[in-house]
Structures are given as C-alpha cells and as structure tokens.
Amino acid sequence: MVFKVFLFLILVVPAVMAGTPRKPIDVPFQKNYNPTWAADHIKYIDGGKQATLSLDKSTGTGFQSKGTYLFGHFSMQIKMVPGDSAGTVTAFYLSSQNSEHDEIDFEFLGNRSGQPYILQTNVFSGGKGDREQRIYLWFDPTKDYHSYSVLWNMRQIVFFVDDVPIRVFKNSKDLGVRYPFNQPMKIYSSLWNADDWATRGGIEKTDWSKAPFVAAYKGFHIDGCEASAPYSLCPTLGRRWWDQKEFDDLDGLQWRKLKWVRSKYTIYNYCSDRVRYPKLSPECSRDRDI
C-alpha cells in the first residue's frame, strides 16, 4: 500500500523524462545460457522458458551466459527461495575474468522464516570492490517473479528492481575512480551456501532439514553488445537504445524513486560508513549517495 501511494504521488508531479529501459523479450534458457556447475541441480520447465536452481547439502549450482558483453541491459526474473532461507545466497551478476576484474553484483541474502530478504549490491572496477549497499525490498520476493536488471553504458551503471532504480554508479574517471569500460563480462547466476557470512554475519546457519532450497527463474533475454575478444571495445556508442542520450542520467521521477528507496529501505551504504571508510569515496557525491 505504501508503495502504491508513493507511486501516485511521484507520478502526478511533472518531470522531464529520461529513458525507460525496454521490456525484455522472453526467450528460453538454452538460447543465451549454459550450466556452469552441478547441472543436475538445474531443472527446466516448459522447454526452458523457466528454470529452477536447487541447493542441498552436497552442492549448489549456477549458470553463465554463452556470450561475453561490453555494455547493455541485462535482466532476469527471479522468485527467491521461500521459507527458511537463512545461510543461502542467490546471486545475479556480471563479471570479467582477470586479476583486476570488473563486476556488477546483485546478491540476495536469505533469512529465517518471517524475516525479510536483504539485497546487497556491489561494483568492482579494476579489481577494487568494497562498495556494498544493502536494502530491504518493499515486497516479498518469494511470492512471485520480479525483474532485477542492470543498465550499463559509458556514462552510468543503474541497478533496477522492476522499474525502480535502487542504485546508480556514475562514470567518475575524472575523479580518479576506475569505471568498467574495457573489460567484457559474462552474466552469471548461482544459488549457494554462504552461512559463514550471509545471514546476520554468519550467526544464523543453514538449516539443512529444510533442503532442497529452490529459486525459480524466467526471462533469459540479453540485450548487450557482444565482445568475444578480451579488452575489445564495443563500436556501438549511440547506436543501441541503452546508449542514447536519454540514458546518460536518471530523470527527476527516477531520482525520486531512488531517494525513496534510500530513505525507506536502505540498511547499509558504504558511502556513509565513516568507521570502515574514514575518507569519503569520490564517487559518492556524484552518485548522490550522501
């Protein structure tokens, strides 16, 4: 109800609209992805239009994209592990493969029954991460599918939950902050046990009597510039919808949605952690995290 009221209030306020990400096309799993490990723990439904990942005491599982991409819009519809999911992590992320790697992360941290999921995001650039942000969601992610997506171009990286931007990471190269721009990445997803840290810092352990833990997926479309060779540049600046001028920044409506998430649902932001980071990271101001 609170979310509906919020949407009504911001929609009636005039705003200069920037770009809205296009709705992904539904395609089967096999078109764009392959299992990475424990393929027997992935089950395909309706010819691959849906897939489930399962975690038991022996192993979790995961998959990765067939292609490697430099910029684009990458989305997945996921229904999280229901019930007592403490200790489990469902991850959806992009990553390059080298020592100074780039990475863009969604990590969904399970919890005891009745407690909310925590969504942790992070951005690695040139091997440097430690940019964690954590939020609660304004809905139960175990009840239905929701879309989790990343828009990545030369100007910004935007994390979306459905159509709500929950985080922005701007290109702040001029401030001395490295930005992912020249290392193609694959898209990955996995379900695995991380009870040494995932729930209350590792206090809550995975209850294996509740196994198997199952997460469901659909919507396996990828809209990115494929770059098969490492460090190859993508010659599409201004030619793809996600690389148009309107995607250089959020518009007023999108910034208000992001402000709402930060004020109501954010539980940790590295930009405001003066104990861990006595000196403010340069990108925090540009990203409006403070």
DSSP code per residue over 42-106: EEEEGGGTEEEEEE-SS--EEEEESS-EEEEEEEEEEEPPPS--TTEEEEEEEE--STT--EEEE
Q: Report d(CA 17, CA 239) in Å as an integer.
A: 20
**Is-above-0.75 flag for pTM?**
yes
Quick check: bond before 278 cis, omega within 30? Answer: no
Tell me what pLDDT residue 25 has: 85
Give the pair of three-digit tokens for residue 215.
């997460």
Position 113 confidence tier, pLDDT thresholds 50, 70, 90? confident
Tell me what pLDDT residue 114 has: 83
Domain boundaries in the chain? 29-287
Tell me if residue 23 falls in helix, strand or coil. coil
Tell me what pLDDT residue 8 has: 47
Tell me what pLDDT residue 158 has: 98
The CATH number fitting domain 29-287, selected from 1.10.443.10, 1.20.120.160, 2.60.120.10, 2.60.120.200? 2.60.120.200
pLDDT digits (tens, 9 = 90+) for 166-216: 999 999 999 999 999 989 999 999 999 999 999 999 999 999 999 999 999
CA-to-CA separations, 219 to 170, 206, 260, 280, in angstroms, rounded: 27, 29, 27, 38
Identify whether the C-beta of residue 76 lies closer than 8 Å to the C-beta of residue 141.
no
Tell me what pLDDT residue 98 has: 84
Position 1 confidence tier, pLDDT thresholds 50, 70, 90? low
Active-site residue (options: 107, 132, 246, 283):
107
Q: Report d(CA 26, CA 7) in Å as an integer.
A: 26
Tell me what pLDDT residue 205 has: 95
pLDDT value at 263 more than 60:
yes
Decide if 132 is catalytic.
no
pLDDT, mean of residues 13-32: 77
Tell me what pLDDT residue 233 has: 62
pLDDT value at 14 more than 50:
no
Position 4 confidence tier, pLDDT thresholds 50, 70, 90? low
Give the pair of three-digit tokens for residue 175.
């401030």
pLDDT value at 235 more than 80:
no
Average pLDDT, the chain: 91
pLDDT, mean of residues 271-283: 95
Angle between helices 252-264 and 2-11 (to 10 degrees): 150
pLDDT value at 18 more than 80:
no
Tell me what pLDDT residue 99 has: 81
Vertex 135: Cα angle to 134 and 140 (nearest 5): 135
Tell me if residue 168 falls in helix, strand or coil. strand
Quick one: which of 129, 160, 153, 174 has its CA closest to 286? 174
Position 80 confidence tier, pLDDT thresholds 50, 70, 90? very high
pLDDT digits (tens, 9 = 90+) for 40-49: 999 999 999 9
CA-to-CA separations, 166 to 85, 90, 260, in angstroms, rounded: 23, 18, 9
Tell me what pLDDT residue 97 has: 87
Q: Report d(CA 221, CA 74) in Å as an integer.
A: 8
